[in-house]
Amino acid sequence: MSKDEFERMNLLSEKALHQTASSVEMEEFHQLLQQWNVPNDIKLAGNLIDKDKDDFLN
């Protein structure tokens, strides 16, 4: 996620919190949030796989 996308997501999250976001902005926020979460999910899965390998080897 680029810096601009992150800043846009922050702006949209504020609008969502204050219930001033349009339906189009809410959809954009949802898409950016999904983009933000994907790398974290992949990283978490990778850490779990690495942990399982360590447990197996010990």
pLDDT digits (tens, 9 = 90+) for 4-20: 999 999 999 999 999 99
Number of domains in the chain: 1
Which is nearest to 21 in space by CA: 9, 37, 33?
9
Considering only residues 31 and 46, tell me which one the structure prediction assigns the higher pLDDT: 31
Tell whether the model's pLDDT for residue 39 goes beyond 50.
Answer: yes
Q: Which domain holds residue 19?
A: 3-57
Strand, helix or coil at 18? coil
Give the pLDDT score at 58. Answer: 45
Tell whether the model's pLDDT for residue 2 goes beyond 60.
Answer: yes
Question: What is the spatial distance between Cα 39 and Cα 23, in angstroms, rounded to a whole number?
Answer: 26
Question: What is the spatial distance between Cα 9 and Cα 33, in angstroms, rounded to a whole number?
Answer: 7
Give the pLDDT score at 36. Answer: 84
Let me know how many helices (H) and strands (E) the chain has, helices first: 2, 0
The percentage of the chain sitting over the pLDDT mark of 70, rounded to a whole number, equals 66
Q: pTM of the predicted model, to two decimals?
A: 0.63
Question: What is the spatial distance between Cα 46 and Cα 30, in angstroms, rounded to a whole number?
Answer: 24
